[in-house]
């Protein structure tokens, strides 16, 4: 098969291959057991947004599952930028995957001598802004407990979230809200969750959800906008009676939630605090990040004058 340039180049097993040739073994434990970790990163306006932060989280996820990434932090940053360069990405989506690598049948990671690092970078066409807001239902599936598969690990094992998403699909909703084992609000299936109460912008502490990069960015932006923020547990009652709610993540950015469990949130349209954050986030992501045009290592080095 003659590869088409539009197929793009994927970094896998230590080299860039055409998308058509980029493959992993059927004995890879990422496939057989979901044994691996990943990151989803965006590029805006020729820059990779929060590259270092995403790679920090990738290394933390890998450490938690005792997976040895075959490259250093600086090398992984550079591989991301180089993959963007080779695919001429200006605005795009980058998927980093580290699997336990090829082994034999049987879950024991000792069967896998070499972890597999994959970097995919695509032009972004998949995310349509859901500016008018989405309808959310609470899932009956609780988010994994911190002492089971910790939600802080961005692992290849998303069945907990997928079961919740299936339930939302069945109920005609756009997204599912997941609770923790105690019944407090945790997060959506691939996004963190915020509400606006009479007093503050609230989001749950991260023990029960992913330590989202977008979540952190919004907490910082809110502070600069003079919006009071609080990270504390809250319940569905607080959600149903909130003035505004939204989900946020690398893919979704900031998306208003206009109903939860058939209770209209606020006026049933995007609220003023959410609207300010949508604009602030939109501007921030387009003006910050690691330039794709130069080496990540050079960009990370502070200028000496
Ligand atoms: N919670 C979960 C469970 C996630 O998977 C977030 C929160 C938001 O985190 P960030 O760091 O993105 O703000 C995520 C992120 C995809 C995709 O292609 C998934 C995510 C991010 C980007 C792409 O499914 N999940």
Domain range summary for the chain, segments of one domain joined by +: 9-125, 134-269
Topology (CATH) of 9-125: D-amino Acid Aminotransferase; Chain A, domain 1 (3.30.470)
Q: How do 244-249 and 229-231 pair as beta strands?
A: unpaired
User: Does the CB atom of residue 204 touch ligand 1 within 6 A?
Assistant: no
User: Does the CB atom of residue 12 touch ligand 1 within 6 A?
Assistant: no
User: Does the CB atom of residue 250 touch ligand 1 within 6 A?
Assistant: yes
Among 159, 249, 251, 252, the mutation site with the greatest number of ligand 1 atoms within 8 A of its Cβ is 249
Question: Measured from the CA of 209, which atom of ligand 1 is nearest?
Answer: 1
Domain 134-269, CATH class in plain words: alpha beta
User: Does the CB atom of residue 175 touch ligand 1 within 6 A?
Assistant: no
Distance separating alpha carbons of residues 54 and 59, to the nearest angstrom: 9
Give yes or no for a contact between 82 and 65, defined as CB atoms under 8 angstroms apart: no
With 0-12 / 13-18 / 19 or more C-beta atoms within 10 angstroms meaning exposed / middle / buried, residue 237 is exposed
The per-residue pLDDT string of the chain (305 residues; one tens digit each, 9 = 90 and over) reads 444 555 799 999 999 999 999 999 999 999 999 999 999 999 999 999 999 999 999 999 999 999 999 999 999 999 999 999 999 999 999 999 999 999 999 999 999 999 999 999 999 864 555 778 999 999 999 999 999 999 999 999 999 999 999 999 999 999 999 999 999 999 999 999 999 999 999 999 999 999 999 999 999 999 999 999 999 999 999 999 999 999 999 999 999 999 999 999 999 999 999 999 999 999 999 999 999 995 444 444 443 32
Q: How many whole angstroms from 191 Cα to the centroid of ligand 1?
A: 5
Q: How many whole angstroms from 210 Cα to the centroid of ligand 1?
A: 8
Q: How many whole angstroms from 192 Cα to the centroid of ligand 1?
A: 8
* Enzyme catalytic residues: 154
pTM for this predicted structure:
0.93
């Amino acid at each position: 098969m003659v590869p088409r340039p539009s197929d793009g180049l994927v970094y896998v097993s230590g080299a860039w291959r055409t998308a058509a040739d980029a493959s992993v073994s059927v004995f890879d434990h990422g496939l057989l057991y979901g044994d691996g970790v990943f990151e989803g990163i965006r590029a805006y306006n020729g820059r990779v947004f929060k590259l270092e932060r995403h790679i920090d989280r990738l290394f933390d996820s890998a450490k938690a599952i005792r997976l040895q990434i075959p490259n250093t932090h600086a090398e992984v940053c550079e591989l991301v930028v180089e993959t963007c360069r080779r695919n001429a990405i200006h605005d795009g989506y980058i998927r980093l995957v580290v699997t336990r690598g090829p082994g034999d049948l049987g879950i024991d990671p000792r069967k896998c001598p070499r972890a597999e690092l994959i970097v995919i970078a695509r032009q972004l066409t998949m995310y349509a802004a859901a500016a008018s807001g989405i309808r959310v239902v609470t899932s009956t599936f609780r988010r994994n407990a911190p002492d089971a598969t910790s939600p802080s690990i961005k692992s290849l094992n998303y069945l907990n979230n997928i079961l919740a998403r299936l339930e939302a699909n069945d109920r005609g909703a756009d997204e599912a809200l997941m609770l923790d084992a105690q019944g407090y609000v945790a997060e959506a299936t691939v996004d963190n969750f915020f509400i606006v109460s009479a007093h503050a912008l609230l989001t749950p502490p991260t023990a029960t959800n992913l330590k989202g990069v977008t979540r952190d960015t919004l907490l910082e932006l809110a502070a600069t906008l003079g919006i009071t923020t609080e990270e504390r547990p809250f319940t569905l009652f607080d959600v149903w009676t909130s003035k505004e709610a939204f989900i946020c993540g690398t893919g979704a950015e900031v998306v208003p939630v206009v109903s939860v469990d058939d209770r209209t949130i606020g006026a049933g349209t995007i609220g003023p605090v959410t609207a300010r954050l949508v604009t602030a986030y939109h501007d921030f992501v387009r003006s910050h990040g690691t330039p794709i045009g130069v080496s990540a290592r050079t960009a990370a080095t502070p200028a000496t004058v």
